[in-house]
């Protein structure tokens, strides 16, 4: 990890907050983990592997909390996973430049912020046939899987509202599907990347501990206590800060 004076104290704190907020709404936090590591000057070769690993820890805990409350439905998540799995593997195998990596990440974060702040009304439902829903699920899964493999973003922030809009699940069921999706694509993307590179996760123990604690508390509060809309506002703040700092880094 890069030698920055306060990084060993600040990074775990930031990752705890990110894991808590993201996991409370059924997401892994990969988008913000990746952005924070870029901002702190870590290698773009290492970042996706660390981010995918952290996603796995958070989403494992989140999956447990949501599934034990019977929110998980296989018929919701399977169509997305069918196409996401091969594309996550392909994305993990791609070797892209640092500049392209940063731009893919920035665009991903901007789309997340736009979804949260500009597309506030997710109360409507699309009236589609079962076949149309399956097609949209397959296309979405392939795109999110590819991005997950490339930059380490799990895609839950896009998947959760889409499930609601497609009228195939409730808010809690969508959150459960989101966290399971993040777990699967993160695992596949990481397996693909580890075939070409490797990292010593022991070096990142403070970050792992932070996301495990944040992920456990966040997913517990999200599945039992917190309103998804309330937590999404906090998520939006985290994303906006990440975008501003990432733009500064690119410029």
Q: What is the 3-state secondary structure (H, E, C) of the chain?
A: CCCCCCHHHHHHHHHHHHHHHHHCCCCCCHHHHHHHHHHCCCCCCCHHHHHHHHHHHHHHHHHHHHHCCCCCCHHHHHHHHHHHHHHHHHHHHCCCCHHHHHHHHHHHHHHHHHHHHCCCCCCCCCCCCHHHHHHHHHHHHHHHHHHHHHHCCCCHHHHHHHHHHCCCCCHHHHHHHHHHHHHHHHHHHHHHHHCCCCCCHHHHHHHHHHHHHHHHHHHHHHHHCCCHHHHHHHHHHHHHHHHHHHHHHHC
**pLDDT score of 5 more than 50:** no
Q: Which domain holds residue 200?
A: 8-250
* Average pLDDT across the chain, whole number: 80
Asked whether residue 2 is assigned to any structural domain, the reply reads no
pLDDT of residue 51: 85
Asked whether residue 1 is assigned to any structural domain, the reply reads no
Report yes or no on whether pTM surpasses 0.85: no
Asked whether residue 38 is assigned to any structural domain, the reply reads yes
The mean per-residue pLDDT over the stretch 204-219 comes to 83
pLDDT of residue 198: 75
**pLDDT score of 147 more than 80:** yes
Asked whether residue 3 is assigned to any structural domain, the reply reads no
If one counts the domains in the chain, the total is 1
């Amino acid at each position: 990890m890069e030698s920055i004076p306060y990084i060993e104290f600040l990074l775990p704190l930031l990752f705890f907050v990110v894991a808590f907020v993201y996991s409370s709404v059924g997401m892994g936090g990969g988008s913000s983990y990746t952005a924070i590591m870029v901002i702190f000057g870590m290698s773009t070769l290492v970042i996706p592997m660390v981010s995918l690993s952290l996603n796995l820890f958070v989403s494992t805990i989140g999956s447990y909390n949501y599934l034990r409350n019977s929110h998980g439905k296989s018929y919701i998540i399977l169509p997305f996973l069918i196409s996401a799995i091969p594309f996550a593997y392909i994305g993990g195998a791609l070797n892209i430049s640092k500049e392209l990596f940063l731009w893919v990440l920035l665009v991903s974060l901007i789309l997340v912020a736009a979804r949260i702040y500009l597309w506030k009304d997710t109360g409507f439902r699309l009236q589609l046939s079962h076949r149309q829903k399956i097609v949209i699920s397959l296309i979405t899964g392939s795109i999110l899987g590819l991005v997950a493999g490339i930059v380490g973003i799990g895609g839950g922030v896009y998947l959760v509202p889409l499930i609601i809009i497609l009228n195939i699940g409730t808010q809690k069921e969508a959150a459960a599907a989101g966290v399971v999706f993040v777990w699967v694509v993160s695992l596949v993307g990481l397996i693909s990347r580890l075939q070409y590179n490797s990292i010593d996760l022991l070096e990142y123990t403070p970050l792992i501990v932070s996301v495990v604690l944040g992920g456990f508390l966040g997913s517990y509060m999200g599945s039992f206590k917190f309103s998804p809309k309330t937590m999404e506002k906090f998520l939006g703040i985290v994303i906006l800060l990440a975008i501003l700092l990432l733009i500064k880094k690119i410029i």
